[in-house]
Amino acid sequence: MTPILGFLTPLIIYAVITALHYFLPGRWITGYVAHSETGELLRYRLNGRLVLIVSIVLWFALGYLEWVPYDWLYTVRWYSLAGAFTIGLVFSLWIVLPHPSTGKPFLADFFLGRLENPQLQGGRIDAKMWLYLIGAVMLELNVLAFSGHHHMTHGDAASPGIFLSAALLTYFVFDYLSFERVHLYTYDIFAERVGFKLGWGCLTFYPYFYAVALWSTVDLPDPNIPAWGYAGAAILFLAGWIFARGANMQKFFFKIQPERPFLGIRPESISDGKRSLLVNGFWGLSRHVNYLGEILMACGIALSTGYPGIIWPWLYPLYYVALLFPRQFDDDKRCAAKYGALWGEYKKRVKYKIIPFLY
């Protein structure tokens, strides 16, 4: 019975998250991406943080009432992963197959998708924002269950690193869902289609793989790391967050109110008369200092488990390197095409791609 229930668990959770997203109050927001046919900016109804909070309360309530053990998602993790894998695959087939080809080979279409920005009811549910919401909330539930498992099995001998790592991941999820509006201005939303990469990526990969640091260490004993080791991991995470959140916010404000200072930094930009690019603050350090921030945050999460000698927690920051370094190349090509000579000027002004003074 447990394998079947475990397999069905993500299906039930995804259905509950979808219902919460649909029925809980939300803010209507005009986004950055224009409809490919009408040219009008797309509208979105966003309520990610509220859905997250209600989901966590439900998780606590079910545990408290002893209807579902706090560590259920840990106990059934492999079955649950198999269920999520199946949902991700079925969703990807469903969102790609019935729609006209983009002219690329079938496998490219399947992987990258055919539809640009599918929405239901004029944006009440936007496929991309829904996918990110499901991934983020399910990740958080896995994090709670995995650290809950550690507490239940180790009691007083539990490792503070597990709770620190869980707290940092929780912060990461809250941060993402608190700034959903800012993420409407990011690459996935304006440059990608919905296929296996985004569909399977958010329904399967994101909620399970992002928990790999905890998955691989919650059964281990307390490594007895000195407090400064944990403090160092937390500081690394915080430094990364400042780069990632700071750069994203500075660009967001620049796009909506080009004159508005951010953290006291007055925006400096270069322009060709039609378009402009920021050249100071975070965007003067490197052309993608936010990617560096994301990688540092992931290192902080891996290190905070207290097991720097085990490979598994490091898979998380390594994945970011594999994702974001090629993405920087793609974005560079896209921006060179969009901004023309201005992009060349920007590259002369801001020399480093990701890591200031190094790369």
Q: Which residues bind ligand NDP (CB under 6 A)?
A: 186-187, 244, 248, 251, 254, 277-278, 283, 288, 290-291, 294, 327, 331, 334-335, 338, 346
Bridging pattern class, strands 119-120 and 125-126: antiparallel
Specify the residue, 71 or 180, whose C-beta has the smaller distance to ligand NDP.
180
Smallest separation, CB 91 to ligand NDP (Å): 18
Q: How far is the CB of 175 from ligand NDP (least distance, A)?
A: 10
Smallest gap from Cβ 170 to ligand NDP, in A, equals 14
Question: Which 8-state DSSP code applies to residue 123?
Answer: G
For ligand NDP, the closer of residues 14 and 283 by Cβ is 283
Asked whether the beta carbons of 353 and 286 are under 8 A apart, the reply is yes
Nearer to ligand NDP, 242 or 335 (CB): 335
Task: Say how far apart CA 356 and CA 359 lie, in whole Å.
Answer: 6
DSSP string, 172-217: HHHHHHHTHHHHTTSHHHHH--BSHHHHHIIIIIHHHHTTHHHHTT
> How many other β-carbons are positioned within 10 Å of the β-carbon of residue 88?
23
CB of 294 to ligand NDP, least distance (A): 4
The residue (of 12 and 256) whose beta carbon lies closer to ligand NDP is: 256
User: 165 to each of 146, 154, 214, how far by Cα in Å?
Assistant: 11, 16, 7
The closest alpha carbon to 240, from 136, 144, 317, belongs to 317
In the complex, the smallest distance separating the C-beta of residue 318 from ligand NDP, rounded to whole angstroms, is: 13
Residue closer to ligand NDP (CB basis): 76 or 297: 297
CB nearer to ligand NDP: pick between 202 and 303: 202
Least distance to ligand NDP from the beta carbon of 308, Å? 22
What is the DSSP secondary-structure string of 23-61? HS--EEEEEEEEPTTT-PEEEEEE-HHHHHHHHHHHHHH
Measured CA to CA, the distance from residue 358 to residue 138 in angstroms comes to: 36
Report the alpha-carbon distance of residue 59 to residue 65 in Å, rounded.
10
Of 137 and 278, the one with the shorter C-beta distance to ligand NDP is: 278
Cβ distance to ligand NDP smaller for residue 62 or 112: 112
Shortest distance in whole angstroms from residue 291 CB to ligand NDP: 5
Cα 357–Cα 358–Cα 359 angle in degrees, nearest 5: 115
Least distance from ligand NDP to the Cβ atom of residue 319, Å: 9
Nearer to ligand NDP, 30 or 101 (CB): 30
Are the C-beta atoms of 92 and 200 separated by less than 8 Å?
Answer: yes
Closest CA relative to residue 91, chosen from 201, 209, 17: 201
**286 with 352: CB under 8 angstroms?**
yes
Element (H, E) at 269: strand 269-271
Q: At residue 358, what is the residue type?
A: L
Minimum distance from CB of 186 to ligand NDP (Å)? 3
